[in-house]
């Protein structure tokens, strides 16, 4: 983490100089006031204000640091890249040998790892950034599987006229289910439960929308 110390006539002036050097905003740094600054006789400045300003570690940086430590414990040596980032979300791609251990059955291990990484990345952070983990392109294959599952369960709901609850899924996977069925006139979807056990419920519409 990068740290600078700056002086100014006031704390605010010293902070402004530090932010300019770090090319950062106030909510992206931690500020330690070393000297408040003071004025002496006749209002003349006798002591400059001094601050130490440190760039906060970004959520995606904390996520990568956590994952690197975990991979070392698991004795894995994958390549990890931040391949996509936008407001409120970043995607980390993991590639290498023997990556199946990180995916697990139906992606349960990967989803648990993603949830845990998100908690670590956003700890002590005022905002929230969603972390998406992908191992060897698994997410694309999983998306196709989930769309097929959504259509299959929707057919069963139409036949039985009864609601069906799916297995717990992370937010990005639940969104795939919701999107796959949002145009269906005969069924509707909603989510229930608390993370990480939140799941999609597919229910019949009464009466169906035509």
The listed CATH number (3.30.300.20, 3.30.420.590, 3.40.50.970, 3.40.109.10) that belongs to domain 59-136 = 3.30.300.20
Partner residues linked to 189 by β-bridges? 202
Unique residue bearing structure tokens 């998406």: 132
In the chain, where does the domain assigned CATH 3.30.1370.50 lie? 141-204
Separation between Cα atoms, residue 179 and residue 147, nearest integer Å: 9
Strand, coil or helix: what is 73? helix
**Token representation of residue 172:** 């990005």
Please state the pTM of the whole predicted model.
Answer: 0.72
Separation between Cα atoms, residue 196 and residue 169, nearest integer Å: 7
Within its chain, how far is the Cα of 111 from the centroid?
12
Question: In this predicted structure, what is the pLDDT of residue 162?
Answer: 96
In the chain, where does the domain assigned CATH 3.30.300.20 lie? 59-136
Helix axes 108-121, 59-73, angle to 10 degrees: 130
Question: In this predicted structure, what is the pLDDT of residue 87?
Answer: 73
Compute the residue count for the chain: 210
Phi, psi of 45 (to 5 degrees): -70, 120
Question: In this predicted structure, what is the pLDDT of residue 84?
Answer: 75
Report pLDDT digits (tens) over 37-96: 766 555 555 678 899 999 988 899 999 999 999 999 999 999 999 887 777 889 999 999
Longest dimension (CA), the chain: 89
Which CATH superfamily groups domain 141-204? R3H-like domain (3.30.1370.50)
Residues 90 and 59: beta-carbon distance below 8 Å: yes
Residues 9 and 45: beta-carbon distance below 8 Å: yes
Question: Per-residue pLDDT for the chain (210 aa), expressed as one digit of tens each?
Answer: 789 999 888 888 889 999 999 999 898 889 999 988 766 555 555 678 899 999 988 899 999 999 999 999 999 999 999 887 777 889 999 999 989 999 998 899 999 999 999 999 998 776 788 999 999 999 999 999 999 999 999 999 999 999 999 999 989 899 999 999 999 999 999 999 998 899 999 999 987 665
Strand, coil or helix: what is 116? helix
């Amino acid at each position: 983490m990068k740290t600078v110390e700056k002086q100014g006539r006031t704390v605010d002036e010293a902070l402004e100089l530090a932010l300019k050097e770090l090319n950062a905003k106030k909510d992206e740094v931690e500020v330690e006031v070393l000297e408040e600054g003071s004025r002496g006789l006749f209002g003349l400045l006798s002591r400059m204000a001094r601050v130490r300003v440190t760039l906060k570690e970004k959520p995606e940086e904390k996520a990568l640091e956590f994952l690197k430590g975990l991979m070392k414990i698991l004795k894995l040596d994958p390549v990890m890249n931040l391949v996509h980032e936008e407001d409120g979300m970043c995607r980390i791609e993991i590639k290498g040998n023997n990556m199946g251990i990180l995916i697990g059955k139906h992606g349960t291990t990967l989803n648990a790892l993603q949830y845990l990484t998100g908690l670590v990345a956003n700890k002590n952070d005022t905002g929230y950034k969603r972390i998406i983990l992908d191992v060897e392109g698994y997410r694309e294959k999983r998306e196709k599987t989930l769309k097929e599952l959504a259509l299959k369960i929707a057919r069963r709901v139409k036949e039985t006229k009864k609601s069906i609850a799916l297995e717990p899924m992370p937010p990005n996977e639940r969104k795939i289910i919701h999107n796959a069925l949002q145009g269906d006139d005969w069924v509707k979807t909603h989510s229930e439960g608390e993370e990480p056990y939140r799941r999609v419920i597919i229910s019949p519409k009464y009466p169906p929308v035509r």
